[in-house]
Amino acid sequence: VSEGLGARRKAVFVLGQILRKRLTLEHAWDHSGAPLEPRDEGFARAIVQESLRRFGQLEALIRHCVPKSPPPHKAGATLEILIAATCELLFLNVAPHAAVDAANQLARDDAKSMHFKGLINAVLRRLSREGAELITQQDALRLNTPDWLWERWLAHYGEATTRAIAEAHLHPAPLDLSLKDNNDPCTDIEALQRLAPHALRVEASGRIEAIPGFAQGRWWIQDFAASLPARLFGDISDARVLDLCAAPGGKTAELAAQGARVTALDLSPARLERVRENLARLNLDAEIIAADIRDWKPSEPFPFVLLDAPCTATGTIRRHPDLALIKSPADIGICQSLQNELLDAAAEMVAPGGTLIYAVCSLEPEEGLWQIDDFLRRRSDFQRAPITRAEVGDPRLLSEDGDLRTLPCHWADKGGMDGFYAARLKRA
Ligand SMILES: C[S@@+](CC[C@H](N)C(=O)[O-])C[C@H]1O[C@@H](n2cnc3c(N)ncnc32)[C@H](O)[C@@H]1O
């Protein structure tokens, strides 16, 4: 029973922090105590991530057995113990006795959930017998997508695409490398595929540092879709480029690797430290500025400005399954008004004739298409410069207006990509 108990205890704690306090998975992990042995740490992560991906299904299965759930203030960690153990039983192929015994032990160790030990035991024993059959009757895609997200994606993308997005969310995202040198043959790296001259998809197992070329700074980690916005300026070799909202620096590196003279600005000094570290490893250079975009004024405007605005990040749920459960419709409104202010401030930093690229990793039109439509209504001195098929290689990644609109279900046969929106605007 004790085997893996520490991992399960950690998983239950982290799930509780996400579900009750709406902490992000990474934040919750940082507060979950000392790291365990790598194997246990990996097991705990697998439980948490799969529980989040399959949350709707797991909740429905438990509700099937216990229609009236015990009040959370009396039940302690009962719900998390049930979610995690059901996930082990039905989605992680853990032997029933191991999952059930460990859940009983965890319940016994907790002053509140110990009173629900009988219930936990009964539910898990029943699901270990009937669960596999019950799953076949579930609409997994619908159940695992929160109602508010399902409704908005249905309205904006239609049912087939919404289902395809939900399907993509069931699988972990692959690991993509952005290459510093497009001509790097990468023959020493075990690649699944070369997605573009600058992008390689690799097997996502083991330590990142062990992938050849890490110490030499030949690549950095960045989803393929995230690498695209900074590649839409055309030739920026030796040009001055302003990278707004730059940290942790994926796009800063993308710009510097194309030969630009980059000024990277971000509000967060701590996150800018990561930009510095990343650039140092890659042997790339940028001027780094800690400031709020809304207060900062450049000494002269820039011919190229990239604004990678903070957003709800609903395009990255494959990587961050916690987002589907901790975000709410109110977050869209909050992000939308901040993006609006940042766009107006960024526009002032663009030189006449210059280019502004606006990007977000959100699937929501309020943060993407509608944000830009609003901006163009306010600012008659800016016009859309549509992105062409030749620039992204696949017309499915473009909207009718010529904006970049990638979805998690795009290139599903290759492992998908994050959902990114980007618009390219020219100042008169
Ligand atoms: C989506 S992330 C940027 C990711 C980054 N461009 C990359 O490719 O690695 C958004 C960033 O916006 C920054 N930010 C949020 N509000 C800001 C503001 N008012 N001024 C400057 N930076 C801000 C945050 O600190 C955060 O690092």
The fraction of the chain above a pLDDT of 90, given in percent, is: 94
**Helices 55-65 and 38-53, packing angle to 10 deg:** 80
User: Hey, is 23 helix, strand or coil?
Assistant: coil
Residue 2's pLDDT band, with cuts at 50, 70 and 90, is low
Specify whether 361 is catalytic: yes
C-alpha span between 54 and 20 (Å, rounded): 17
Q: How far is the CA of 310 from the centre of ligand 1 (A)?
A: 6
Integer CA distances (angstroms), 363 to 79, 120, 175, 424, in order: 30, 38, 21, 17
C-alpha span between 167 and 165 (Å, rounded): 5
Q: How many CB atoms lie within 10 A of CB 115?
A: 15
Per-residue pLDDT for 82 more than 70?
yes
Q: Identify the pLDDT of residue 73.
A: 81
Per-residue pLDDT for 203 more than 60?
yes
Per-residue pLDDT for 206 more than 90?
no
Q: Give which of 391, 46, 415, 85 is closest to 234, Cα–Cα.
A: 391
C-alpha span between 336 and 371 (Å, rounded): 7
DSSP secondary structure letter of residue 208? G
Q: How far is the CA of 125 from the centre of ligand 1 (A)?
A: 47
Reduced 3-state DSSP string for 262-298: EEEEECCHHHHHHHHHHHHHHCCCCEEEECCCCCCCC
C-alpha span between 340 and 173 (Å, rounded): 30
Report the pLDDT averaged over residues 303-330: 98
**Between these two residues, 317 and 111, which has the higher pLDDT value?**
317
Summarised one tens digit per residue, pLDDT across range 38-76 is 999 999 999 999 999 999 999 999 999 998 888 878 899
Per-residue pLDDT for 1 more than 50?
no
Report the pLDDT averaged over residues 96-118: 94
Determine the residue of 245, 277, 305 to mutate for testing ligand 1's pocket, defined as the one with the most ligand atoms within 8 A of the Cβ atom.
Answer: 245
Indicate left, alpha or beta for 324 from its phi (over 0: left) and psi (-120 to 50: alpha). Answer: alpha
Q: Whose CA is nearest to atom 15 of ligand 1?
A: 310
Within 6 A (CB) of ligand 1 lie 245-251, 266-268, 271, 292-294, 308, 310, 342
Report which ligand 1 atom has the smallest distance to the Cα of 266.
Answer: 22
Summarised one tens digit per residue, pLDDT across range 256-267 is 999 999 999 999
Q: How far is the CA of 245 from the centre of ligand 1 (A)?
A: 3
Report the pLDDT averaged over residues 142-151: 98
Are 338 and 309 spatial neighbours (Cβ–Cβ below 8 Å)?
yes
Summarised one tens digit per residue, pLDDT across range 356-404 is 999 999 999 999 999 999 999 999 999 999 999 999 999 999 999 999 9
Residue 190's pLDDT band, with cuts at 50, 70 and 90, is confident
Report the pLDDT averaged over residues 226-237: 98
Can you read off the two tokens belonging to residue 195?
């997605």
C-alpha span between 114 and 121 (Å, rounded): 11
The fraction of the chain above a pLDDT of 70, given in percent, is: 100
Among residues 87, 311, 335, 361, the one annotated as catalytic is 361
| 13: CB partners within 8 A, 6+ apart | 28, 32, 33, 77
Residue 248's pLDDT band, with cuts at 50, 70 and 90, is very high
Report the pLDDT averaged over residues 317-346: 98
C-alpha span between 39 and 44 (Å, rounded): 9
Summarised one tens digit per residue, pLDDT across range 21-48 is 999 999 999 999 999 999 999 999 999 9
C-alpha span between 384 and 79 (Å, rounded): 50
Summarised one tens digit per residue, pLDDT across range 286-302 is 999 999 999 999 999 99
C-alpha span between 197 and 337 (Å, rounded): 37
Per-residue pLDDT for 178 more than 80?
yes
Summarised one tens digit per residue, pLDDT across range 400-421 is 999 999 999 999 999 999 999 9
C-alpha span between 21 and 95 (Å, rounded): 31
Q: How far is the CA of 247 from the centre of ligand 1 (A)?
A: 6
Integer CA distances (angstroms), 294 to 74, 202, 339, in order: 47, 39, 11
C-alpha span between 300 and 387 (Å, rounded): 27
C-alpha span between 322 and 22 (Å, rounded): 9
Can you read off the two tokens belonging to residue 403?
């904006």
